[in-house]
Amino acid sequence: MDDRGILELLQAMVRAPSHTGVPRQEEAAAGALAAYLRGRGVPAELVEVRDGRPNLIATLAGKRPGPHLLFCGHLDTVPPNSGAAGDLFSATVDSGRVFGRGTVDMKGALAAMAGALAGIRESGGLDSGRVTLAAVVDEEMESIGAEALIRSGFKADGAVVGEPTGNRVAVGHKGLEWFEVTFTGKAAHGGTPEAGVNAIAAAAHFVSLVERELVPGFERRRDPALGLPAINMGTIRGGQQPSMVAADCAIQLDRRWVTTETIEQVFDDIEALLARVREARPGLRTKLARMPGGMATMLHGPLVIDRGHPLVVSALAAFGDVGLAVPATDVFPAWTDGALLAREAGIPAIIWGPGALELAHSPEESLPIEDLYQAARLYAAAARRFTATR
């Protein structure tokens, strides 16, 4: 494999900022990826999802019909951290690591996937089947790129989503909902609080009920693969000044749900607790709503694949093919586009990519170069195995 070319591709993509606020956000990164692939004889097409925001689609076809494998990753990143000591778009190499925004999440995986396609082509191509690389836009926000791919009618027999797992194969992740709960009470003088309805006190009551009653009940919904559901109170704001009874308060929360639950249960759980808070505080009004920006149109549900699926078997066998010990499978702690591919397009998916998740979105974001090269070899070996299955 052309290791040097894979590293240079990653550096080129990191040096093409693709976070929110950048004009034509992902276009330059997609262009760098397309140039690499086309320069190595792999056809690559840019398909605009929105103006200046293209998905990249590149397909390598085998000599005979066979299974179709999708490599999928996202071109966008989160913005640079405020106050970061260095330039997060320099793609500096130091002490065997490449540094910069997107090295881990997840331009490193895209570079490795592109390297795998180029390596397969340069070593004689596929005996059977097809491999497609889809580099999509907007995963960090609403996943409009993955939704566009699915709405185009794209189909495959399996998908590898290259989020950072330390090159371990992850067989699923929890679903994700972001909610805002608003409490509307009645303002009054702080010296006569009985004349008002305190929205902050109502919010505190709600949080207490979540912790004392909702969370302990999650044990009854434990998922055999994904574990327990989870809920996190992320932000709270309310009130105007200490001497006023707060008329308004809002909580934004993160709810991770599993296959033993339904989305209706997720909503109903919270609504039932809010009903009890309203009952205890006559005159209080509450509202539960999805936060804008958390999803476009498709539900961000959980993902699970059976460990005996040919995709998982092929991925694990790839480790032996490249001379590595086979690791245990894992569960990914964050949400990914893999859930949309599996739930909306019927494409079984695993999460598998280089890098440590704890470095993603951080000012220290960096990727060991050997992990990058290892991922490319693993992807290529898995692709050869999966496309040869019957």
Task: Give the closest residue to 365 by CA, choosing from 119, 157, 19, 106.
Answer: 106
Return the structure tokens found at 380. Answer: 């290529």
Q: In whole angstroms, what is the distance from residue 381 CA to residue 379 CA?
A: 6
Strand locations in the chain (E): 44-50, 53-61, 64-74, 93-94, 97-99, 128-136, 158-161, 172-173, 175-184, 230-238, 248-257, 285-290, 303-304, 349-351, 366-368
Q: ∠351-92-33 over CA atoms, to 5°?
A: 50
Confirm whether 219 is a catalytic residue. Answer: no
The residues, any chain, with a CB within 8 Å of residue 375's CB and separated by 6 or more, are: 108, 109, 112, 162, 167, 353, 354
Q: In whole angstroms, what is the distance from residue 99 CA to residue 75 CA?
A: 17
Q: In whole angstroms, what is the distance from residue 299 CA to residue 369 CA?
A: 35
Return the structure tokens found at 359. Answer: 């470095």
Task: Give the closest residue to 12 by CA, choosing from 124, 129, 78, 98.
Answer: 98
Catalytic residue among 76, 157, 223, 371: 76
Element (H, E) at 79: none
Catalytic residue among 139, 147, 269, 365: 139
- Measured in whole angstroms, the distance separating CA 75 from the mean position of its chain's CA atoms is 12
Q: In whole angstroms, what is the distance from residue 128 CA to residue 376 CA?
A: 20
SS3 153: coil
Backbone φ, ψ for residue 36 (5° rounding): -60, -50
Q: In whole angstroms, what is the distance from residue 290 CA to residue 288 CA?
A: 7
Confirm whether 163 is a catalytic residue. Answer: no
Q: In whole angstroms, what is the distance from residue 167 CA to residue 315 CA?
A: 10
Residues recognised as catalytic: 76, 139
